[in-house]
């Protein structure tokens, strides 16, 4: 697990609406999938690509390179910049002014996330359940992982209130999986 | 599936439920903890045993829960995500069930920065929603997070916490919804001093229909002296006490402060009781457990039926030996 910097709540400068729109250009397609496969065959190319991703996302989102990006479900505020790295919403320590419990001069990143999601009419996104992350993926390129389809089960596609949210992405039957 | 929890039975009945909170000692002598829970026996439905609260080292919540069982008091064992990864959390859930601890409260936990070991490594491998989700999956599907089957599932009544008045206000009820979706069956809230704000949150909770799926226990507690008031206003993350409340307590002479604190607490309970969807209260007195029975009595709450008879809990604690 590679984690060089302390997570500090970060508020992106681009609006959530713009970023939701920009996201379309990142969506997996045959070309991206080919690129991802190509990158994973070469250590040098992969590292260079991951560095590039990091430099863009660190500046814009306080990205920690968790390798399993939650941004599309959090109004594009990075939950890994939360000192507790909570993926499902804020803790109970937010001050009445919206300040982070750990860094009182920073805004809680989840206050930012909810506000941004609301501003883009995407509050339902933050109500989906985020599954526990895979800590082996720190330092990997989340874009490559996304294009390779590894992010498909990071979060549920519903709020789990009308039907059960299953922790295991594929329903495991009672007899399998031992 | 029922967990064998008297608390679960209580929230399923119409009775107004009361839980309280006891913090384990900083030391290996269990006497103070045992005495504190004994004070509460028969008065409350269950007692939370806190988990290194405020990130300060104490006797563990699991040991504290076993000590409570031995006193005939049903514990709610708190488990925070601060000090454990998913392996330890799942292991503790199994252990709790095996020891006859029927209730667990799964929480994020205060950051180590606030405690006596600020240099410690914070874990936060999973968050509170994920902890609930894992616990429910273990209980209802007999599966670990890894997907592996358990030999036998832990029977547990699952709880979480919420801070109704903390920002982002529009999301707090939805966040409770996430916990319900993940498996929470009861929720204990942060202290309510601003009843109007709590009422707004409860309206959101009802609108989402959550009050029918989770027992909401509103957090309350008597503030004992000016120092405690100051501490709560400045040192406790996420706790905000409105000026009007602070002024009311500060106006009285210091010798009457404790009485005014109790009066305020009793009034708050009575107002909370009127709010549709509130299943009970969670009393926090920070070491002043002896005032809790008085608060309960003055608030006109009928204590649990099995008052002062802890025999059935004692039997359960027999699992220990
Ligand atoms: S890859 Fe992980 S750390 Fe980076 S922005 Fe996305 S969620 Fe945050």
- The DSSP result for B72-130, as a single string, is T--EEEEEESSS--HHHHHHHHHHHHHTT--EEEEE----GGGSS-TTSPP--SS-HHH
For atom 7 of ligand 1, which residue has the closest CA? A69
What is the per-residue pLDDT for B304?
86
Whose CA is closest to B41, among B74, B5, B3?
B74
Average pLDDT over residues B189-203: 97
- 3-state class (DSSP) for residue B140: helix
CB nearest A102 (choices: B111, B162, B208): B111
What distance in Å separates residue A92's CA from the closest CA in chain B? 5
Q: Where are the alpha helices (DSSP H) in chain B?
A: 6-12, 31-40, 61-70, 86-98, 128-141, 169-182, 195-207, 226-234, 243-251, 257-273, 292-298, 311-317
For atom 6 of ligand 1, which residue has the closest CA? A69
B14's CB contacts (< 8 A; 6+ apart) are none
| B128–A127 C-beta distance less than 8 A | no
Average pLDDT over residues A111-126: 97
| pLDDT over 90 percentage in chain B | 90
Which helix (H) or strand (E) covers residue A33, if one does?
helix A30-41
Q: Is the ipTM of this complex over 0.95?
A: no
Q: Is the sign of the CA dihedral A40, A43, A45, A51 positive or negative? A: positive
Is the pLDDT assigned to residue B38 strictly greater than 90? yes
What is the per-residue pLDDT for A175?
42
CATH assignment, B6-317 = 3.20.20.220
Is the pLDDT assigned to residue B321 strictly greater than 50? no
Distance CA B293, CA B289 (A): 8
Atom of ligand 1 nearest to the CA of A62: 5
| B175–A88 C-beta distance less than 8 A | yes
What distance in Å separates residue B244's CA from the closest CA in chain A? 16
What is the CB < 6 Å shell around ligand 1?
A 57, 61, 63-66, 69-71, 78, 80, 142
- Interface-testing mutation among A84, A158, A163, A173, with chain B (most B C-beta atoms within 10 A): A84
User: Residue A124: its chain B contacts at CB < 8 A?
Assistant: none
Is the pLDDT assigned to residue B13 strictly greater than 70? yes
A173 in reach of chain B (CB within 8 A): no
- Residue A4 confidence class, pLDDT cut points 50, 70, 90: low
What is the per-residue pLDDT for A115?
97
Buried b (16+ CB within 10 A) or exposed e, B232-267: beeebbbbbbeeebbeebeeeeeeebbebbbbbbbe
Average pLDDT over residues B90-109: 98
A137 in reach of chain B (CB within 8 A): no
| A172–B182 C-beta distance less than 8 A | no
CB nearest B178 (choices: A89, A94, A168): A89
Residue extents of the structural domains in chain B? 6-317
Tokens 């029918």 — which residue? B212
A79 in reach of chain B (CB within 8 A): no
- Interface-testing mutation among B161, B175, B193, B205, with chain A (most A C-beta atoms within 10 A): B175
- Nearest chain B alpha carbon to A82: B124
Mean pLDDT for all residues in chain A: 92
For atom 5 of ligand 1, which residue has the closest CA? A63
Average pLDDT over residues A11-22: 94
| φ, ψ dihedrals at B220, nearest 5° | -140, 170
| pLDDT over 70 percentage in chain A | 93
What distance in Å separates residue B201's CA from the closest CA in chain A? 14
What distance in Å separates residue A50's CA from the closest CA in chain B? 23
What is the per-residue pLDDT for B27?
97
- Nearest chain A alpha carbon to B123: A84
């Amino acid at each position: 697990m590679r984690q060089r910097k302390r997570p500090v709540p970060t508020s992106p400068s681009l609006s959530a609406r713009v970023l939701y729109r920009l996201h379309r250009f990142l969506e997996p397609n045959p070309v991206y999938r080919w690129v991802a496969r190509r990158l994973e065959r070469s250590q040098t190319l992969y590292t260079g690509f991951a560095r590039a991703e990091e430099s863009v996302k660190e500046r814009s989102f306080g990205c920690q390179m968790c390798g399993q990006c939650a941004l599309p479900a959090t109004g594009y505020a990075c939950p890994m910049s939360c000192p507790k790295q909570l993926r499902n919403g804020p803790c109970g320590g937010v001050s009445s002014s919206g300040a982070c419990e750990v860094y009182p001069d920073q805004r809680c990143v989840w206050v930012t996330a909810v506000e941004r999601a609301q501003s883009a009419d995407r509050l339902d996104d933050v109500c989906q359940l985020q599954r526990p992350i895979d800590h082996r993926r720190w330092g990997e390129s989340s874009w490559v992982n996304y294009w390779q389809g590894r992010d498909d089960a990071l979060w549920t596609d519903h709020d789990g209130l009308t039907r059960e949210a299953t922790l295991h992405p594929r329903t495991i039957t009672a007899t399998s999986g031992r | 599936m029922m967990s064998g929890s008297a608390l679960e039975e209580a929230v399923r009945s119409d009775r107004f439920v009361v839980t309280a909170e006891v913090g384990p000692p900083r030391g290996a002598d269990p006497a103070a903890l045992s005495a504190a829970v004994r004070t509460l026996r028969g008065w409350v439905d269950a007692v939370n045993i806190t988990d290194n609260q405020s990130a300060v080292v104490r006797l563990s919540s699991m040991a504290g829960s076993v000590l409570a069982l031995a006193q005939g008091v049903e514990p709610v064992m708190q488990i925070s995500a601060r000090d454990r990864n998913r392996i330890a959390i799942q292991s503790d859930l199994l252990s709790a069930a095996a020891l006859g601890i029927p209730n667990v409260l799964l929480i994020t936990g205060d950051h180590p920065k606030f405690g006596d070991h600020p240099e410690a490594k914070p874990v936060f491998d999973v968050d509170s929603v994920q902890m609930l989700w894992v616990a429910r999956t273990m209980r209802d599907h007999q599966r670990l997070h890894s997907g592996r089957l358990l030999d036998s599932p832990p029977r547990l009544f699952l709880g979480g916490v919420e801070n109704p008045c903390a920002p982002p206000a529009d999301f707090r009820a939805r966040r409770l919804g996430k916990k319900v979706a993940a498996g929470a069956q009861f929720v204990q809230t942060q202290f309510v001093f601003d009843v109007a704000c709590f009422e707004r949150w409860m309206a959101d909770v009802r609108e989402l229909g959550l009050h029918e799926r989770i027992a909401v226990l509103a957090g309350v507690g008597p503030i004992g002296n000016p120092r405690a008031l100051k501490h709560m206003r400045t040192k406790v993350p996420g706790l905000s006490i409105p000026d009007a409340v602070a002024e009311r307590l500060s106006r009285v002479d210091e010798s009457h402060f404790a009485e005014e604190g109790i009066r305020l607490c009793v009034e708050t309970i009575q107002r909370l009781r009127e709010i549709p969807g509130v299943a009970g209260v969670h009393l926090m007195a920070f070491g002043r457990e002896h005032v809790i029975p008085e608060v309960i009595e003055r608030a006109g709450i009928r204590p649990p039926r099995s008052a002062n008879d802890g025999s059935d809990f004692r039997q359960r604690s027999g699992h220990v030996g």
